[in-house]
Structure 1
């Protein structure tokens, strides 16, 4: 099946941009050309407008040119809000299913490094576009995809069938994998995880590759982990390839921190100090590697970066296992002030983690790695032997 708008100039421009940027590899170009994202997007969607920084409603029936322009753009598109409980045109509260940016999709497909005959399990079907790209490349018989949300699974199943690539869409929790179709040569996840299920390792062949967005509860950002399953099948390990940010697997979402449950009463039990660290050093940009590195060291800690007002920006830290908290107040042109309370001194831990990262030569994402075993996870720098539990 082909899309009537398949040869629109915007789609051709997107292809050129992805190719010139090295994101769309030559061996994926034919699948990009044959499988348009527009064929898998709903009639009402909420693309992310890069200029306004907001998700905007676009209905194909009301504004087809705008709808296709967003479908053919390198932007993420929300396709479901609030686990399907949302209705109406305006965005809901929490985005819970989406179509990722095409550049991210093809970056992760490149890292999957599929070969002819590979059997692939996808975790998180979403719209079905990613599964369709895999099926075009490898054959429908070699791809199976798992989706937790019944409505999302049904829509993707219909889109895949309608397009002529009827990949099996399994409605179940992807944390369990899909043992009925194992063993797999490749597993790819399209949602963010805080724990890689060992079931995926168990359902993989020795030497198989697992590509999954992973991060810690320290923040919402992820990094793509590219893991190789050991020959004895008892572990999977590999380096991170770079930053991303995905919707989290529903079972691993972190409930919002209730600030008032931590900070209340008088200030008599709060330690006040200062720090020479500056805002730009500690935070960097949104996807700066130091935030990811700190998350690997600050276990059971959440940080929240507040808006900057009148030259000051507070950054809060909350303990997940007790009511410890800390706040560092960065101020332009002045030394940052710090307040801490509770059994843990969370700012001291955060500053120590930053100094550790600095002392290791400020390693980038590609120097960090992850190892997954049946007992848990460990992170490492440069060498899996230099690891610690996360």
Structure 2
């Protein structure tokens, strides 16, 4: 490595750590790990930047590459599940290196200690597994990656750094029973439902920490304590967004995936502005996602419909029910609603929003989840205060 690049990297790392330390995110043991496990050693030569996911090669643009690697931001490391973009040239992120700030926040939340046996779900580049290996010992780290190419690359990077953690190519939803029981399970992909094998493979008293999302919003972390092989319970916290576990993906992306010309929706009216539930209020969106577990939404601006400036679509993930809420661009107190299917989705949305406001508009930190062998129960403030959820 050229000396000027090495010097630039030291400066970039120092700046990143100073920023994170000012925010209280990096205690001494993790600062030592960050210095011993350089992020650059775990990044591919090609990364993707900006909204258009433009490729950036280390060989061609080393300063830009290094600046992205040591920014407190996520870095897209794979597009289109490793396949070349199709004829339309469309690109979408399929794997990324998480922002260092959330990486260290999660490591602190996991309360990892020397000698703990840790199962990581979602190896990605391998950097997180490298940090864990430095603190608990590589012999105590097992990491699972669904993409065999990414798994092989991460294994090579870890071993090149002398960290022979066990890297498993497989479905993270199944965990890795061969190394159980674990003291900690840390996922670096989000889930919509906690896989039951995770509970079976973490010892009683152990911790499961995973990013969380619903079809409504990708937002939040869930930290659960395992009571026994069938039960775990814990609280959410805000401010995180991760890629969804591939096994839990849905193919629905736009309203055209669920709306047919043959549908004859029912017309009604509503006084609830659609942006209240699908706007900038992330706490409201989080609550909607917990109440409406199988419902997603998308905005359609300028839908080429006379008298409609903007339309909010909501639909079920099984594509059997949908609703559309029209705003005429003028009135903010009355909206036209169209609903189709066995469920009246906008009626459900209004009820969920009314419930949220009647409970003082709680944020994610007031919510929790209990998982048993028979299902998942969301609750507000305490496990003995469950609330109904649909879907």
Give the TM-score taking structure 2 as reference length: 0.90
Counterpart residue number, 1:336: 335
Instruction: Provide closer, same or farther for how the CA distance between residues 366 and 174 of structure 1 changes in structure 2, counting only shifts above 3 A.
Output: same
1:160 aligned counterpart, secondary structure: helix
1:271 aligns with 2:266: yes
Counterpart residue number, 2:40: 38
Moved over 4 A (4+): 307-311
Shift of 1:59: 0.5
Shift of 1:322: 5.6
Any conservation in 1 of the 2:52–2:91 contact (CA below 8 Å)? no
1:145 aligns with 2:143: yes
Instruction: Provide closer, same or farther for how the CA distance between residues 169 and 92 of structure 1 changes in structure 2, counting only shifts above 3 A.
Output: farther
Shift of 1:162: 0.9
Shift of 1:91: 8.0
Any conservation in 2 of the 1:6–1:36 contact (CA below 8 Å)? no
Matches within 5 A, 1:210-289: 210-219=208-217, 221-230=218-227, 232-257=228-253, 259-260=255-256, 262-265=258-261, 269-285=264-280, 288-289=282-283
Any conservation in 1 of the 2:114–2:136 contact (CA below 8 Å)? yes
Instruction: Provide closer, same or farther for how the CA distance between residues 260 and 33 of structure 1 changes in structure 2, counting only shifts above 3 A.
Output: closer
**Cα distance in 1 between the residues matched to 2:29 and 2:248:** 34
2:154 aligned counterpart, secondary structure: helix
Shift of 1:93: 2.6
**Cα distance in 1 between the residues matched to 2:9 and 2:134:** 18
1:370 aligned counterpart, secondary structure: strand
Counterpart residue number, 1:83: 81
Q: How many residues align?
A: 381
1:161 aligned counterpart, secondary structure: helix
**Cα distance in 1 between the residues matched to 2:77 and 2:277:** 35
**Cα distance in 1 between the residues matched to 2:89 and 2:45:** 15
**Cα distance in 2 between the residues matched to 1:311 and 1:143:** 55
Instruction: Provide closer, same or farther for how the CA distance between residues 238 and 5 of structure 1 changes in structure 2, counting only shifts above 3 A.
Output: farther
My pick for the range that moved more, 53-62 or 313-322, is: 313-322
Instruction: Provide closer, same or farther for how the CA distance between residues 372 and 292 of structure 1 changes in structure 2, counting only shifts above 3 A.
Output: same
Question: 1:31-51 deviations in whole A, cap 9, x for unaligned?
Answer: 12222211100111113x4xx
Shift of 1:262: 3.8
Structure 1 residue runs of 5 or longer lacking an equivalent are: none
Instruction: Provide closer, same or farther for how the CA distance between residues 101 and 91 of structure 1 changes in structure 2, counting only shifts above 3 A.
Output: farther
Matches within 5 A, 1:122-137: 122-137=120-135
> Aligned-residue CA RMSD in angstroms?
2.6
Question: 1:113-148 deviations in whole A, cap 9, x for unaligned?
Answer: 112221100011000000000011111111111111
**Cα distance in 1 between the residues matched to 2:212 and 2:173:** 13
Question: 1:1-53 deviations in whole A, cap 9, x for unaligned?
Answer: 99935743222111111111122233311112222211100111113x4xxx4
1:8 aligns with 2:7: no
Shift of 1:112: 0.5
Any conservation in 2 of the 1:46–1:91 contact (CA below 8 Å)? no
Any conservation in 2 of the 1:81–1:91 contact (CA below 8 Å)? no
Counterpart residue number, 1:62: 60
Any conservation in 1 of the 2:209–2:222 contact (CA below 8 Å)? yes
2:238 aligned counterpart, secondary structure: strand
Instruction: Provide closer, same or farther for how the CA distance between residues 6 and 372 of structure 1 changes in structure 2, counting only shifts above 3 A.
Output: farther
